[in-house]
Amino acid sequence: MNIMEPIIALCKRRGFFYPSSEIYGGLANTWDFGHYGILLKNNLRDFWWKKFVLQRSDIVGVDASTILPPKVWEASGHLTGFNDALVDCRNCHFRRLMFVNLIYFLRQRLESSILTNQRPI
């Protein structure tokens, strides 16, 4: 079994996200946020915005399109030099993608909040 399958199943059961257009057969690799997913997304976005934009005097916000001509992606280096961030575990020395660590952390927080009857987000 793929390691992501139980995580995806948990997120679907708890209302974090669902495959987009699932009742119509779906569309590969597209997801819609559920009720907790929207809260999580907004909390992460707001935290990031405060930390990296509002708390700095040398940064301003820009909201630009992500659908761009291929020349833009070439010029930015995204086509040749884009890498996913990896994290090394200090205990087992296993290397994994950073977003996987975030998923494990969020799952633990969610499970502990359910056990203590608190809001997870």
The model's pLDDT over 86-102, given as tens digits with 9 standing for 90+, comes to 777 788 877 777 766 67
The model's pLDDT over 24-74, given as tens digits with 9 standing for 90+, comes to 887 888 889 999 999 999 999 999 999 999 999 999 998 888 788 889 888
Distance CA 54, CA 47 (A): 10
Distance CA 49, CA 61 (A): 8
Domain positions in the chain are 1-58, 65-121
**Crossing angle between the packed helical segments 4-14 and 98-115, to the nearest 10 degrees:** 40
Instruction: Record the pTM.
Output: 0.49
Token pair recorded at residue 42:
């907004």
